[in-house]
Amino acid sequence: MADKTVDRGPWTGCAVMFLQSLCPGVNLLSLFKDREQGKFIVFKVIKLTLIDSAGGLGGYEILKVHDADPFLGVEVKFEDVSACQQFLESYSSGAVQQSLSQHACRLLTLPHEFTVETQLKASTHILDLCLDKLELCLQHIHLSQPERLRDEEIDHLEEQLQIQARGPAPQPTPITQEECPVPGNCFKFQNKVFEDRMLTAGDVQSFSNGVGRHWKHVGRALGKSCRALKGLAIDNLAYEYEREGLYEQAYQLLSRFIQAEGRAAKLSRLVKALEDCKLTSLAENILEIQPRE
């Protein structure tokens, strides 16, 4: 892979990712076109994959999901060169395809492994043919400027995601009725009670995949109650693992937290830190993919 670009000025570009399921009986295009619930699930798979591969929630937006039979086309506008670069690196390494497969298998409740064929284009350029030339791919995407605003259908799907992330609206209760206390081994998130537990390797991996450039903010939030993450600890981690990239920096952050706190390194503390950093979608993702005891 080429050296990382140092240009961090105003930057936009557009790319289209084409997706086709290779699993018999699972047609992403048909799911998106024919069923309201299927449309939402496929969109959520795409959105979670972008969160994993582009370094979080910012720096890009989905403009349109369209019929490119036999493929499903996903048009993405990048508004930040760093997010675009991280997506390209994830795509080149196969991480995008892996994330697509994992989220699709989970959300579509498939009994078998899900495999997907992908193709990435910017205008007429097939980027799969030049993924080893990062700067050239960035240039093609930058020259392919978006020609439309976000589709109204995408606005609706994004709104559905936000509603789901917030959870069901709380029901009014009589003033005289006391709220049920949360058990000591549990915690509340979005009006739902979850059993608290020590952080697992799966939690660390999900966090590292999804937090992107925001890992420092989460580290400082955790550092309010963790001596090992106070002072220059976060900056030292960033410097020590700069060459390994954002995933490794985030991974080492949580690993250090777990090592320092031991049995006190609980899921509730990570979720609270994510809430403090306004990363509730990532907290929801971590809670949803973990098996509840």
Please tell us whether the domain made up of 13-155 is placed in CATH 3.30.1280.10: no
Mapped onto helix, strand or coil, the DSSP state of residue 190 is coil
pTM recorded for the entire structure = 0.56
Residue 113: burial class (beta carbons within 10 Å; 0-12, 13-18, 19+): exposed
**Averaged pLDDT of the chain:** 86
Per-residue pLDDT reduced to its tens digit, 171-204 = 665 544 455 677 878 988 888 888 888 898 888 9
Residue 14: burial class (beta carbons within 10 Å; 0-12, 13-18, 19+): buried
The pLDDT value recorded for residue 50 is 92
CATH code 1.10.533.10 region(s) in the chain: 186-289
Per-residue pLDDT reduced to its tens digit, 103-159 = 888 888 876 778 889 999 999 999 999 999 999 999 999 999 988 788 888 988 888
Query: What whole-number distance in Å separates Cα of residue 265 and Cα of residue 275?
Result: 17
**Class for the domain spanning 186-289:** mainly alpha
- Residue 140 near residue 127 (C-beta atoms within 8 A): yes
CATH code 3.30.70.680 region(s) in the chain: 13-155
- Residue 292 near residue 187 (C-beta atoms within 8 A): no
Mapped onto helix, strand or coil, the DSSP state of residue 242 is coil
Per-residue pLDDT reduced to its tens digit, 267-290 = 999 999 999 999 988 888 888 744
